[in-house]
């Protein structure tokens, strides 16, 4: 089964940590770009209360965002004929979700908890930070984390957000220019939501 068929036939409960990372990418540069955009949003929130950022997201460190980026790319790596987490703006999509006023702070804290637990687990088992591990060691670390009930739930949650970034309307921050739709040969329904009609602004 190729990756297109895998995505099309997958449900929202897709198993975590099943796709190895094949292509290298500059995760740190990607995080810096998205964090810069996030800082701009926080400043804008002072002028536009409807996009104000929950204070919980400020507790995410650079290493937390970097860890999330690497996990996302581990799940959906870039390939010559298919977009990966980088191309579909998976980190940007997740950042936007966590920043929305409508997002439950419990969900934000759960994402942060899992990110930090994964980093702690990596150090305890390998004495090497997750972001510095080889592809093979990351796979082992993720598989180990998957054995924990909450660890598996966190991994499935992150994978679900990656799939949302791939499949959702670009107005929500992922799937830029419909790149995921084009790859899956999907035609979006009409009418598409305008920026001022996104669901959390209702």
Give the SS3 label for residue 13. Answer: coil
Degrees, nearest 5: CA angle 83-88-89: 145
Question: 50-88: per-residue pLDDT in tens?
Answer: 434 444 678 898 889 999 999 999 999 888 888 889 899
Tell me what pLDDT residue 148 has. Answer: 94
For the entire predicted model, the pTM comes to: 0.74
- Which element (helix H / strand E) includes 94? helix 90-99
Domain ranges for the chain, please list them.
22-201
Place of tokens 């009930």: 149
Question: 7-33: per-residue pLDDT in tens?
Answer: 444 433 333 333 333 334 455 555 665
Instruction: State yes or no: pLDDT of 112 exceeds 90.
Output: yes
Q: What would the two tokens of residue 141 be?
A: 């670390």
- Which element (helix H / strand E) includes 9? helix 3-9
Question: 124-166: per-residue pLDDT in tens?
Answer: 776 788 888 888 889 999 999 999 999 999 999 999 999 999 9
- Please, how many CA atoms are within 13 Å of residue 63, restricted to the half-sphere of its CB? 11
Place of tokens 């999907």: 186
- Which element (helix H / strand E) includes 36? helix 27-45
């Amino acid at each position: 089964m190729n990756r297109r068929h895998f995505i099309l036939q997958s449900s929202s409960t897709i198993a975590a940590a099943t796709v190895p990372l094949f292509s290298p990418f500059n995760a740190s540069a990607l995080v810096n770009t998205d964090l810069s955009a996030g800082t701009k949003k926080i400043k804008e929130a002072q002028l536009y209360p409807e996009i104000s950022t929950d204070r919980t997201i400020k507790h995410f460190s650079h290493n937390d965002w970097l860890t999330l980026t690497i996990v996302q790319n581990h799940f959906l790596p870039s390939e010559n004929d298919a977009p990966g987490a980088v191309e579909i703006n998976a980190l940007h999509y997740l950042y936007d979700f966590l920043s929305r006023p409508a997002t439950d702070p419990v969900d934000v804290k759960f994402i942060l908890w899992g990110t930090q637990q994964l980093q702690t687990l990596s150090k305890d088992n390998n004495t090497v930070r997750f972001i510095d591990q080889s592809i093979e060691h990351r796979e082992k670390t993720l598989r180990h984390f998957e054995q924990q009930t909450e660890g598996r739930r966190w991994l499935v949650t992150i994978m679900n957000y990656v799939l949302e970034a791939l499949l959702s309307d670009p107005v929500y921050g992922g799937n830029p220019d419909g790149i995921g739709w084009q790859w899956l040969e999907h035609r979006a329904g009409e009418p598409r939501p305008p920026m001022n009609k996104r669901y959390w602004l209702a």
